[in-house]
């Protein structure tokens, strides 16, 4: 228990002592440990532990928020009084708190905190050795390990009391390879909402995958520039849908008219072969939780069903505005942040396309296997993605690797041009930034083909 | 809010606890802040956040092994737990002959006027709400086609920092910042375009509501009707914001850590003739106008000014204590901490690009036929800091016959940082502080040739 129910009830009562429609207390304890290896040396061990709370009062359309470091009773009450001090109405009475059903916590077999740091260092040494052993052309290898445990408790004036306990482990490997004057990099990660058991099954493989990416690129040609058919690979290829469409479905952008999907609910936005979900309840995935950071249970929300737009992603505030229920997407980076609608794990459901045929049907095009990341402007729908691994498609075959490619386009147009969805499927981990807050998100899909997309490269 | 003395006290206790727990040396960084954020939309306050926070970050050394821990519990029990965590972390690290506590500074700590403007804490919340509303109003009134503002965000912060080490380094300072930004939307028919405006300063009085709002409204409406340009290679003018973003990547690649580890396109290039003579770039941690300016860096080393590129040559790398020891050089005072939650590492402070002779209008005339880039997107994934190659999304305006012409969008610009440095033809004369790519004072610049990827 981060704070006692009695104290939480008192905070809510004081927060509403001069009016307001809704009050909430969010408490959190975060513990973490990170470690890296660079130049074959274990370095930057970092240990962290912090606690804090945020008190929120919603009065009409105005949200007031105060957060404090620590969970001391006096600080929590002072935060509540400060918020109430700005209002001048009659006291509102919170509904008595009642603990929710025990949350469906993810099963953590081996708490990472119970594993000696030396074991974590050993894994990093293995990554380093395997990356360097991949080729004499590997000139630099580095890898990082991070674990985090986040315990949260939410109490609100509607009587909600809920808690979650989230443990995440992630490993990353970066490799630099050099041939003559050419330098290339490769990157690979492994992460989950799981314990140390995630690393039981050959974690060192990601170092070899990162090395292979860098080595492949050494022989790469400059990427082509211009419009062509693009096949996007499975797994992290899902970041394309995350950026292109997911952000535009977050209700805060929609309600301000700052999304191209505003007013499009029920409309055809893609071919019937496309179905996509946001699902915060997928077992063990990176973006998974028992509840969101407002206490709403995480769940699966259909975003696009057979080409039709079916739902936006809501937190409580935006759901109230639209007269609907939260979809369990009210997330915040820490107690220092207000919750906002965010994706959890977003994916395109596997289709019936044969991944090989999806490529072999293309005469000339570009195969984007993986991305370094991307960005979208939801108001206009314009997006851009950096391709970290890409190949030319010539006469139905993925041929030469290309360096420095960027995919660019407009989401409304690009989504309608998806003409094949593969039957393969993979989930990958990522970090999503929005309004200054970073959230762990999962992305997934199989091979997806888009007819007519702009590839920005250096070869004109 | 904790005062500097209280923070220094907590830092001293943390250092003592760490040496008591087995550290041969220790360094503690205490930080306290009070901040306020206002978000305004459609003439109404959307959210109002007031917060205070404080914490301590502790580096502990066991000989040549370094560990780090941070925490927010400044009670004796909390500090003792923090010390155990930092020392425990150090035990995991491998030895590194260049590692060790920073030495006390041999140079005097500079005095920088105006780092703290007491007006930040003296300004009523109602006043800054009004400022945010005026920013939004100005944007909406600029052009009938400006259809809305997603939100105006106003933030101010007053903070203190204190450092104590077992090597006799000790110091503290206070600063304040205030900034505001907005994204305006303009629409016509079914097309929507966006434009950004911002202002930065030490207190709300430094922010000019009308200028901030006008920039966003004008940019959004000027982009209406934008089309995709043809793929080609041509001269481009980079706006001050875009220039700042690129300068940030160049500055990062000049940090000695990446250079020493073979992950910078500038490695082994010191003294080389690699840039255009038109470009003069410096890191300046003591310019009173720079928001990152401070008397000392994250290790207590005095901040200063380091010329990086000038006369066409690469002049210096940026160092902290570790990279300086490794290179047999002196720290340039570039150990940065994003907060007490991160250990210090080499980073740019403020970047300054010396202004040139030509106004923006003259730069455009000089360009003749080309493109002006006003916005870039996807920098995080589109710039490879190891190779220096980039390909990023862009929007802007066509330049025809030496004048700005139709708006352009949905294209990419691609090249490499070194090539771009060499291709700079002129830096403009109108420079300002831009909070993109870090904290950068720059004007627009004209680059001789870049690859445009469009239709």
Report DSSP state, residue A245: I
Taking the CA of residue A6 and the nearest CA in chain B, the distance in Å comes to 23
Percent of chain B residues past pLDDT 70, beyond the cut: 100
Separation of alpha carbons A83 and A62, rounded Å: 12
Mark yes or no for CB contact B231/A225 under 8 Å: yes
Interval B348-362: pLDDT, tens: 999 999 999 999 999
pLDDT tier for residue A373 given thresholds of 50, 70 and 90? confident
On whether the CB atoms of residues A339 and A320 are closer than 8 A, the answer is no
Interval B52-76: pLDDT, tens: 888 999 999 999 999 999 999 999 9
Residue of B nearest to A410 (CA): B410
- H or E element in which residue B16 lies: helix B4-20
On whether any CB of chain B is under 8 Å from the CB of A115, the answer is: no
Q: Going by DSSP bridges, is the β-strand pair B424-427/B445-453 parallel, antiparallel, or unpaired?
A: antiparallel
154-183 in A: which are within 8 Å (CB) of B?
176, 183
pLDDT attached to residue A404:
78
Taking the CA of residue A283 and the nearest CA in chain B, the distance in Å comes to 29
Residue B156: is its pLDDT beyond 60?
Answer: yes
Compute the Cα dihedral for B125, B130, B131, B136 and give only its sign.
positive
- Which of these, B249, B295, B306, lies nearest to B438 by C-alpha position? B249
Structure token digits, residue A382 = 């314009």
On whether the CB atoms of residues A370 and A362 are closer than 8 A, the answer is no
Bridge partners, residue A120, by sequence: none
On whether the CB atoms of residues A197 and A203 are closer than 8 A, the answer is no
Structure token digits, residue B392 = 């990023």
Nearest to B96 among A41, A65, A458 (CB): A41
On whether the CB atoms of residues A68 and B51 are closer than 8 A, the answer is yes
Taking the CA of residue B411 and the nearest CA in chain A, the distance in Å comes to 7
Separation of alpha carbons A416 and B117, rounded Å: 53
Interval B242-289: pLDDT, tens: 999 999 999 999 999 999 998 999 999 999 999 999 999 999 999 999
Residue of B nearest to A185 (CA): B386
Separation of alpha carbons B39 and A63, rounded Å: 10
pLDDT attached to residue B2:
56
> Distance from CA of residue A195 to its chain's centroid?
18
Q: Which residue intervals of A261-370 are DSSP H helices?
A: 316-321, 355-360
Residue of B nearest to A371 (CA): B381
On whether the CB atoms of residues B231 and B156 are closer than 8 A, the answer is no
Provide mean pLDDT across the span B294-311. 97
291-330 in A: which are within 8 Å (CB) of B?
none
Taking the CA of residue A339 and the nearest CA in chain B, the distance in Å comes to 11
CB contacts of A65 in chain B (<8 Å) are 47-51
Interval A245-273: pLDDT, tens: 999 999 999 999 999 999 999 999 999 99
Separation of alpha carbons B86 and B67, rounded Å: 5
Provide mean pLDDT across the span B109-129. 94
Q: Got the DSSP string for A241-257?
A: HIIIIIGGGBHHHHHTT
Greater confidence (A305 vs B167) lies with A305
Nearest to B50 among A82, A371, A405 (CB): A82
Residue B107: is its pLDDT beyond 90?
Answer: no
pLDDT tier for residue B309 given thresholds of 50, 70 and 90? very high
Residue of A nearest to B376 (CA): A384
pLDDT tier for residue A284 given thresholds of 50, 70 and 90? very high
Mark yes or no for CB contact A457/B391 under 8 Å: yes
Q: Which residue intervals of A67-182 are DSSP H helices?
A: 73-85, 117-133
- Which of these, A366, A272, A278, A397, lies nearest to A326 by C-alpha position? A278
Burial call B326-347: b when 16+ CB within 10 Å, e when fewer: beeeebbbbbbbeebbbbbbbb
- The residues, any chain, with a CB within 8 Å of residue A49's CB and separated by 6 or more, are A29, A30, A31, A32, B69, B71, B73, B81, B82, B85
Residue A283: is its pLDDT beyond 70?
Answer: yes
DSSP SS3 for B380: helix
Nearest to A377 among B54, B194, B412 (CB): B194
Separation of alpha carbons A135 and A146, rounded Å: 27
CB contacts of A257 in chain B (<8 Å) are 147-148, 185
CB contacts of B96 in chain A (<8 Å) are 41, 43
Separation of alpha carbons A47 and B66, rounded Å: 12
- Which of these, B158, B256, B169, B211, lies nearest to B432 by C-alpha position? B211
Q: Which residue intervals of A375-433 are DSSP H helices?
A: 411-416
Residue A181: is its pLDDT beyond 90?
Answer: no
Residue A359: is its pLDDT beyond 50?
Answer: yes
On whether any CB of chain B is under 8 Å from the CB of A375, the answer is: yes
CB contacts of A147 in chain B (<8 Å) are none
CB contacts of A384 in chain B (<8 Å) are 377-378, 382, 392-393, 412
Separation of alpha carbons B407 and B181, rounded Å: 23
Q: Which residue intervals of B61-208 are DSSP H helices?
A: 76-92, 119-122, 125-141
Taking the CA of residue A378 and the nearest CA in chain B, the distance in Å comes to 10
pLDDT attached to residue A117:
95
What angle is formed at CA A149 by the lines to CA A143 and CA A154, rounded to 5 degrees? Answer: 145
Residue B1: is its pLDDT beyond 50?
Answer: no
pLDDT attached to residue A454:
87
Nearest to A336 among B51, B69, B414 (CB): B51
Interval A425-455: pLDDT, tens: 999 999 999 989 999 999 999 999 999 998 8
Q: How many Å is the maximal CA-CA distance in chain B?
A: 72
Structure token digits, residue A146 = 């991070």
What angle is formed at CA A328 by the lines to CA A349 and CA B36, rounded to 5 degrees? Answer: 125
On whether any CB of chain B is under 8 Å from the CB of A452, the answer is: no
Q: What is the pTM of this model?
A: 0.92
Q: Which residue has the tokens 């009016």?
A: A19
Interval A308-349: pLDDT, tens: 999 999 999 999 999 999 999 999 999 999 999 999 999 999
Mark yes or no for CB contact B55/A371 under 8 Å: no
> Distance from CA of residue B168 to its chain's centroid?
30
Provide mean pLDDT across the span A396-422. 92
Q: What ipTM did this prediction achieve?
A: 0.89
């Amino acid at each position: 228990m981060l704070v006692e129910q009695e104290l939480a009830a008192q905070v809510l009562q004081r927060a509403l002592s001069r009016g307001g429609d809704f009050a909430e207390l969010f408490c959190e304890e975060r513990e973490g440990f990170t470690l890296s290896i660079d130049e074959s040396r274990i370095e930057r061990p970092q240990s962290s532990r912090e606690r804090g709370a945020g008190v929120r009062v919603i009065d009409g359309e105005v949200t007031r928020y105060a957060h404090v470091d620590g969970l001391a009773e006096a600080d929590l009450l002072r935060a509540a009084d400060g918020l109430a001090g700005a209002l001048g109405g009659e006291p509102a009475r919170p509904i008595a708190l009642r603990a929710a059903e025990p949350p469906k916590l993810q099963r953590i077999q081996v708490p990472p905190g119970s594993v000696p740091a030396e074991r974590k260092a050993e894994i990093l040494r293995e990554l380093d050795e395997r990356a360097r052993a991949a080729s004499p052309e590997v000139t630099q290898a580095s890898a990082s390990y991070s674990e985090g445990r986040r315990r949260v408790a939410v109490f609100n004036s509607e009587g909600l009391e809920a808690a979650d306990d989230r443990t995440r482990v992630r490993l990353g490997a970066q490799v630099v390879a050099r041939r003559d004057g050419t330098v290339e990099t490769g990157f690979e990660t492994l992460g989950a909402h799981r314990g140390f058991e995630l690393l039981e099954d050959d974690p060192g493989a990601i170092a070899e995958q990162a090395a292979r990416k860098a080595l492949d690129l050494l022989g790469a040609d400059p990427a082509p520039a211009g419009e062509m058919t693009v096949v996007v690979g499975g797994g992290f290829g899902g970041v394309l849908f995350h950026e292109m469409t997911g952000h535009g479905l977050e209700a805060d952008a929609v309600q301000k008219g700052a999304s191209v999907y505003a007013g499009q609910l029920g409309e055809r936005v893609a071919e019937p072969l496309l179905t996509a979900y946001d699902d915060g309840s997928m077992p063990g995935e990176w973006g998974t939780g028992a509840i969101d950071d407002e206490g709403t249970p995480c769940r699966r929300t259909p975003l696009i069903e057979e080409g039709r737009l079916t739902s936006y992603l809501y937190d409580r505030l935006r759901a109230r505005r639209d007269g609907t229920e939260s979809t369990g997407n009210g997330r915040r980076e820490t107690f220092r942040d207000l919750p906002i609608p965010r994706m959890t794990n977003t994916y395109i459901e596997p289709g019936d396309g044969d991944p090989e045929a999806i490529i072999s049907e293309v005469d000339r095009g570009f195969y984007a296997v993986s991305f370094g990341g991307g960005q979208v402007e939801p108001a206009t729908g314009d997006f851009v993605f950096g391709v970290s691994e890409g190949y030319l498609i010539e006469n139905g075959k993925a041929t030469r690797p290309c360096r420095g490619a960027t995919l660019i386009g407009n989401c409304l147009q690009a989504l309608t041009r998806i003409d094949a969805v593969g039957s393969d499927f993979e989930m990958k981990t990522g970090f999503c930034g929005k309004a200054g807050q970073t959230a762990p998100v999962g992305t997934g899909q199989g091979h997806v083909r888009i007819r007519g997309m702009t590839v920005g490269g250096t070869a004109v | 809010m904790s005062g500097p003395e209280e923070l220094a006290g907590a830092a001293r206790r943390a250092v003592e606890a760490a040496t008591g727990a087995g550290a041969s040396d220790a360094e503690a960084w205490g930080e306290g802040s009070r901040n306020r954020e206002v978000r305004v939309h459609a003439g109404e306050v959307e959210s109002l956040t007031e917060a205070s926070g404080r914490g301590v970050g502790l580096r502990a050394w066991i000989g040549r092994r370094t560990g780090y821990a941070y925490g927010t519990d400044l009670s004796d029990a909390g500090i003792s737990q923090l010390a155990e965590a930092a020392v425990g972390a150090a035990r995991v690290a491998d030895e590194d002959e260049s590692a060790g506590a920073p030495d006390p500074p041999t140079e005097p700590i500079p005095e920088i006027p105006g780092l703290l403007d007491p007006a930040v804490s003296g300004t009523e919340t109602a006043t800054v709400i009004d400022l945010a509303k005026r920013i939004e109003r100005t944007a909406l009134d600029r052009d009938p086609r400006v259809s809305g503002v997603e939100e105006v965000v106003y933030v101010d912060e007053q903070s203190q920092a204190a450092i104590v080490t077992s090597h006799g380094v000790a110091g503290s300072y206070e600063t304040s910042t205030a900034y505001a930004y907005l994204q305006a939307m303009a629409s016509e028919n079914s097309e929507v375009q966006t434009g950004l405006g911002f202002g930065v300063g030490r207190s709300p009085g430094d922010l000019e509501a009308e200028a901030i709002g006008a920039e966003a409204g004008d940019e959004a409406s000027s982009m209406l009707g934008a089309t995709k340009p043809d793929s080609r290679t041509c001269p481009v003018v980079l706006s001050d914001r875009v220039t700042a973003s690129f300068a940030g990547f160049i500055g990062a690649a000049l940090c000695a850590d990446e250079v020493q580890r073979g992950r910078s396109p500038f490695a082994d290039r010191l003294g080389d003739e690699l840039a255009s003579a038109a470009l003069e770039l410096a890191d300046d941690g003591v310019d009173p106008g720079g928001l990152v300016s401070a008397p000392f860096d994250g290790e207590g080393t005095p901040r200063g000014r380091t010329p990086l590129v000038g006369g066409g040559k690469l002049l210096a790398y940026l160092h902290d204590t570790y990279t300086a020891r490794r290179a047999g050089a002196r720290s340039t005072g570039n150990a940065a901490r994003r907060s007490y939650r991160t250990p210090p590492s080499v980073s740019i402070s403020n970047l300054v690009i010396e202004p040139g002779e030509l106004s923006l209008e003259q730069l455009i005339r000089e360009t003749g036929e080309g493109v002006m880039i006003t916005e870039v997107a996807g920098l995080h994934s589109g710039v490879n800091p190891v190779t220096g190659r980039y390909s990023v999304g862009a929007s802007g305006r066509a330049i025809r016959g030496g004048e700005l012409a139709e708006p352009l969008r949905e294209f990419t610009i691609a090249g490499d940082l070194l090539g771009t440095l060499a291709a700079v033809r002129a830096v403009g004369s109108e420079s300002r502080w831009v909070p993109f790519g870090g904290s950068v004072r720059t004007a627009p610049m004209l680059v001789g040739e870049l690859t445009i990827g469009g239709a």
